[in-house]
Amino acid sequence: MKMRNFILGLVVVLLAGCATTYTVDDFDKYQGAHETVAILPFSVTMSAGNRGKDVTATSLNEEARAQAFNFQGSVCTQFLERVEKDRVTVKFQDIDDTNALMRRAGAFDDEGNVMLTKQEIGELLDVDAVIAGSMTLSKPMGTGTAVVTTLLVGWGVTNEAQINMTIHDSESGSLVWSYDHSASGGVISSPDQLAKNLMRNIASKFPYKKDD
């Protein structure tokens, strides 16, 4: 237990790095028309790096697939907290409904990747806009640390994280907002912590926020 607490105490999140935000010029038009937004499972890629011989491509893909849904839930939680505080102009579709409708329609391939366009997804889910994203975790640290932290925390250790989040208008399929963040030198502890740090970084840039 002491070792577990010691390891957990060392695991922090550092998302200091380069960030780029794009917002379509006439976003106000979309914001006025968007009422309900769906959050999709994130596309997650994890590098094997030097995690050790026991970590196979198959196990990494399985972990990445699980974290895609974990991160979706964590991001949704962060958004809902802002809804409760009346900080945004939209509401978010329940992610269980989102995933159930997409599975029922065969929207995922065998690897868990989404095969539909944003326009098709918007029509399927009956929402006004779709939030999607991708995350790449690479260059894991030493094998011992990576294995121990993955076992204890449920998340791999990384030296580099690249995150992309987008918003597409459902009717047109057009990209109306995107956020790209690249960070290095940090340690990722959990999907929840990473989502909290991500939301902290985009809080002032999120296009659906209400004016103070």
Pairing of strands 160-169, 175-184: antiparallel
Specify if 42 maps to a domain: yes
Q: For the domain that residue 100 is a member of, what is the CATH number?
A: 3.40.50.10610
Reduce the DSSP state of residue 134 to 3 states and report it. Answer: strand
- What pLDDT sits at residue 8? 35
| pLDDT score recorded for residue 191 | 59
pLDDT the model gives residue 7: 33
- Tally the domains of the chain: 1
Report how far residue 107's alpha carbon sits from residue 91's, in angstroms, rounded to the nearest whole number: 23
User: 38: domain range?
Assistant: 17-202
Q: Please choose, from the candidates 94, 106, 114, 102, the residue with its C-alpha nearest in 3D space to the C-alpha of residue 43.
A: 114
Find where tokens 């006439």 sit.
26
10 assigned to some structural domain:
no
- 212 belongs to a structural domain: no
What pLDDT score was predicted for residue 132?
A: 95
Residue ranges in the chain assigned as alpha helix (H) = 2-10, 27-33, 57-84, 95-104, 118-125, 143-153, 191-202
**pTM score over 0.75:** yes
Question: What does the block give as tokens for 125?
Answer: 């889910």
Q: Per residue of the chain (212 residues), what is the pLDDT tens digit?
A: 443 343 333 333 444 556 789 999 999 999 999 999 999 998 888 776 555 566 677 777 777 788 888 888 888 988 888 887 888 999 999 999 999 999 999 999 887 889 999 999 999 999 999 999 988 877 554 444 444 344 334 444 445 678 899 999 999 999 999 999 876 544 445 556 666 777 777 777 889 988 76
Q: How far apart are CA 39 and CA 98, in angstroms?
A: 8
Residues 13, 46, 71, 34, Cα dihedral to 10°: 110
Quick check: is 2 in a domain?
Answer: no
- Residue 195: its pLDDT value, please? 66
Domain assignment present for residue 150? The answer is yes
**What was the pLDDT predicted at 105?**
94
